[in-house]
Amino acid sequence: MFAQFFGSFLLHKGLVTAQDLTVAFEEKKNTRMRLGVLAINAGLMTSEQVEHVNVTQQSVDKRFGDLCVELGYLTDNDVERLLSEQPTDYLLLGQTLVNSGVMSNADFEAAIKEYKEENSLSNDDISGNQSDKLSKLISGFYHFDTAANARIYTEYTTLLFKDIIRFIGDDFTPLGSSIIHELEAPHIVKQAITGAYNSITCVAADTAEYMAFAERFAKEEFTEVDDFVDATVGEFMNVNNGLFTVNESNEHGIELQLDPQEIHNHDKIVFENPAFLIPVSFSFGEVNFVISNG
Amino acid sequence: MALENIKVMIADDSMFARKKLINFISTLGVAEVIEAADGEEAVEKYKASKPNVVFMDIVMPKKTGIEAVKEIVAFDPSAKVIMASSVGTQNHLRDAIMAGASDFIQKPISNDQIQKILENTAKEVK
């Protein structure tokens, strides 16, 4: 999931466009990691050194790794270790953006350094997809620490993104959140979580995006929004919220229930308590998620 | 009994959940798949058809899955009802078992889970 937030960081910094990210998320499936990007990420080489090796490689018939050792930038052990590590998702995204010319190696080096510093992340944190670091990243990204129930918002959103990756796809970019008091959209699915505390959760989107989201979850094609499409989006929400209640029960001893989902087409929902609007930009368009706790 | 002789009931208010289950179960060649969209309909259809196994959601309108399973088991103590819910908390699990459910599976349900349950049901039914 670090790849999606790294993509959002690049977008926010103006280093890439939303279109660049859409293309890169699609292309990264076929991207092979290059030693230069791995070495930059590990802090073993600078982008200038990588460029130097790239230029040198044009005039000699030698492998990139061998040249790095010959030029004194890496040891044999460094090369072996870097090549043996599994490429992480955010590195594949970075490599894809470098390959397509959207970013240079120097842009990537500066961006990855700033991203890690801003979020206090080490290489181990990112490659291990550690839950606590992920929660910290999400809480910081959405400024949940300003909310009274920061833990609930953070854990709900962390699970939501895991379920989006699991059931919809990983080709999305989280966009900045906002606080809302009402929600108006062509299609809204709402589900209340009740019990030890009460929350309202929603998925909202325009027609084309709503259908595309449903198509991904159902793994079938739709031509119009009908009851089945509503039920499909409703089931995504039900599964996600169900897993959330299981986590709350198992990890915190908090017992919650789910109300049946409500479908609101071309409607407006007014929240009793302030709600976090969490927009997510997919390759097929934008879908909004809402959580209000109180 | 072979799979082609067993009757299966799916009680879920989600049209999506019912369709996905029916689509898969149909490929296994069971005798009949009966649908119910709420707890009340589930009880009525159970009494009318006596399916060999029921997949029952918990959160449903009119009558919850827990209430429905109690009525079904009161009518037929040998009923095999599998709760299939997204809310697999310990409390729900306990309530379901106390109501008479045979098992509890957390949504999303995998096709493998369904197939195993149906094959076991076929073995149990004489």
Question: pLDDT of A150-185, one tens digit each?
Answer: 899 999 999 999 999 989 998 999 999 999 999 999
Percentage with pLDDT > 70 across chain A: 96
Percentage with pLDDT > 70 across chain B: 99
Do the Cβ atoms of A7 and A16 come closer than 8 Å? yes
- Contacts of B72-78 spanning 24+ positions with Cβ under 8 A: B72/B42, B72/B43, B72/B46, B72/B100, B73/B99, B73/B100, B75/B43, B75/B46, B75/B47, B76/B46, B76/B50
Q: Is the predicted pLDDT of residue A129 greater than 60, yes or no?
A: no
pLDDT of the residue at A184: 95
Domain residue extents for chain A: 2-132, 134-293
CATH topology for B3-114 is Rossmann fold (3.40.50)
Judged by CB atoms closer than 8 Å, whether chains meet at B106 and A242 is answered as yes
Q: Does A227 touch chain B (CB under 8 A)?
A: yes
Given the candidates 3.30.1380.10, 3.40.1550.10, 3.40.50.2000, 3.50.50.60, the CATH classification of the domain at A134-293 is 3.40.1550.10
pLDDT of the residue at A287: 98
Q: Is the predicted pLDDT of residue A207 greater than 80, yes or no?
A: yes
Q: Is the predicted pLDDT of residue A222 greater than 60, yes or no?
A: yes
A216 pLDDT band, cuts 50/70/90, is very high
Average pLDDT over residues A267-287: 93
Judged by CB atoms closer than 8 Å, whether chains meet at B14 and A234 is answered as yes
Q: Does B124 touch chain A (CB under 8 A)?
A: no
Minimum-distance CB partner of B61 among A243, A250, A260: A260
Judged by CB atoms closer than 8 Å, whether chains meet at A167 and B108 is answered as yes
Average pLDDT over residues A64-80: 93
Token pair for residue A282?
């997919």
Average pLDDT over residues B24-46: 95
Average pLDDT over residues A49-65: 88
pLDDT of the residue at B93: 86
Minimum-distance CB partner of B16 among A232, A245, A255: A232
C-alpha A132/C-alpha A173 separation (Å) is 20
Percentage with pLDDT > 90 across chain A: 54
Judged by CB atoms closer than 8 Å, whether chains meet at B87 and A227 is answered as no
Average pLDDT over residues A199-223: 96
Token pair for residue A116?
């890690």
pLDDT of the residue at B38: 94
Helical axes A47-57 vs A105-118, angle rounded to 10°? 150
Mean pLDDT of chain A: 89
Average pLDDT over residues B55-81: 94
Q: Which residue has the higher pLDDT, A84 or A271?
A: A271
Average pLDDT over residues B85-101: 89
Do the Cβ atoms of A265 and B107 come closer than 8 Å? no
Average pLDDT over residues A130-149: 79
Nearest-Cα residue of chain B relative to residue A259: B59
How far the first Cα of chain B sits from its last, in Å, is 6
* Lowest mean pLDDT across A55-64, A191-200, A280-289: A55-64
Q: Does B88 touch chain A (CB under 8 A)?
A: yes
Judged by CB atoms closer than 8 Å, whether chains meet at B15 and A259 is answered as no
C-alpha A257/C-alpha A44 separation (Å) is 51
* Lowest mean pLDDT across A81-85, A168-172, A236-240, A281-285: A81-85
pLDDT of the residue at B77: 95
Residue by residue, what is the 3-state secondary structure of chain A?
Answer: CHHHHHHHHHHHCCCCCHHHHHHHHHHHHHCCCCHHHHHHHCCCCCHHHHHHHHHHHCCCCCCHHHHHHHCCCCCHHHHHHHHHCCCCHHHHHHHHHHHCCCCCHHHHHHHHHHHHHHCCCCHHHHHHCCHHHHHHHHHHHHCHHHCCCHHHHHHHHHHHHHHHHHHCCCCEEECCCEEEEEEEEEEEEEEEEEECCCEEEEEEECHHHHHHHHHHHHCCCCCCCCHHHHHHHHHHHHHHHHHHHHHHHHHHCCCEEECCCEEEEEEEEEEEEEEEEEEEEECCEEEEEEEEEC
Classify residue B59 by its DSSP letter: S
pLDDT of the residue at A126: 59
